[in-house]
A = this chain, B = another copy of it.
Amino acid sequence: MDRKLRMGMVGGGPGAFIGDVHRKAARMDGQIEIVAGAFDIDPKKSKQMGKELAIDPKRVYGDVAAMIEGELALSEEERIDFVSVCTPNHTHFPIAKAFLEAGFNVMCEKPMTLSVDEAEQLKVVAQKSKKVFGLMHNYTAYPMVKLAKDMVKQGDIGKIRKVIVQYPQGWLARATEKEGSQQAAWRTDPKKSGIAGCMGDIGTHAANLAEYITGLAIKEIAADLTTFVKGRRLDDDGNCLLRLSKGAKGLLHASQVSIGQENNLAIWIHGEDGSLEWHQEHPNWLYVDKLGEPTQIWKRGNDYIGAKSEAAGRATRLPFGHPEAFLEAFANNYCNFADTIRAKAAKRKPTDLEKDFPGIKEGVLGMKFIEAVVASSNNNAAWTKL
């Protein structure tokens, strides 16, 4: 490594959750340094965060426009290599668009935009820009998820029949948004979050996980969304029937009001010859079943993992039994994103392994999922095409 990549950040001010996660993940492997940012809509808070991060105050900006202007004014040897967009949902589109158009690579939080229309626009912008665009669907970056994907691809469980994917949480079981929680406030505000609440925030992760592992597309959805907490303006729970490509069937459910559930993203995939099961809260194990055989637990870090899946092996930092978790998955996306940027800088075509991070395509699909889910639910759970 001749030098670290220089990262800028929009969002991630004091008290923000996901911006700090991006920073920790980006730093972990020592190939990225954070050198600039517009961390908060309040310039004082932005400065405060810049100071906490020991960033040169000249590169702590008051807004996106100033940041783009300021960074472009710097030499290529100083300028940020990419920006991470960690703001509330409604600003992802304009900010990502502005940076792409200004010639910066972008790592963007999900959902990519507020609508399919915006998503399609961003797709065009990204293609024109020839810049690298990453979308932070972090859960597909767990090594055992990559292993699962490769097992499916290699035919280990045969043709897929059924997919069950869930993402239950319980933290919005009460009207926390009225009790001062910033995290709850913007997630339940249609202006900031878009047309879906629970299904946009976490349902999209479930859909993305199912499509990533199976390689199938969700074709139709029948969704029954509910707002259980009085006065809340967006859904806080949803149950969906799925029809996927190649005749597979499925179920997707998500919730923010299931008390006791923390972040229980999990998936069960049943094929003609076997099944896979994975739980995000215990991410180092993948359960594998073959017809008529004992259940197997594949455990991250073992030689047999790398032998089966190069992607899983590459996404592993620690030996077996030394658990990895959420931050490492996040960091895996940063690694592949960075490798792709470096490959382009070296005028080299990035490999499939390097390109293994979510981007525009997943962003468009996410918006289609959200629009279909909401449309179906508004239509009494009628089947709705994506």
Contact = CB atoms under 8 A, between A and B. Distances in A.
Interface of A: 1-4, 17, 20-21, 23-24, 27-31, 34, 51-54, 157, 161-162, 164, 168-171, 173-174, 222, 224, 226, 228, 237, 239-241, 243, 249-251, 253, 255, 257-264, 268, 270-275, 277, 280-284, 287-299, 301-304, 317-328, 380-381, 383
A253 B240 CA distance: 12
Copy total for this chain: 4
Contacts of A162: 228, 237, 255, 257-258
A20 B297 CA distance: 27
Given A21-B318, A222-B381, A249-B224, A259 B299 contact: no
A107 B317 CA distance: 22
A4 B55 CA distance: 10
Contacts of A288: 294
A275 B260 contact: yes
Given A294-B297, A297-B294, A263 B322 contact: yes
A239 B251 contact: yes
A251 B226 CA distance: 13
A288 B147 CA distance: 22
Nearest to A279: B323
B292 A302 contact: yes
B260 A274 contact: yes
A222 B277 CA distance: 26
Contacts of A326: 318, 322-324
22 contacts: A1-B51, A1-B53, A4-B54, A17-B319, A24-B30, A27-B27, A157-B259, A168-B268, A237-B249, A255-B270, A259-B270, A261-B270, A262-B299, A263-B320, A264-B321, A282-B282, A293-B304, A295-B296, A295-B299, A317-B327, A323-B323, A327-B328
Given A258-B270, A261-B275, A261-B321, 7 more contacts: A2-B51, A4-B54, A239-B250, A259-B271, A263-B319, A324-B327, A381-B383
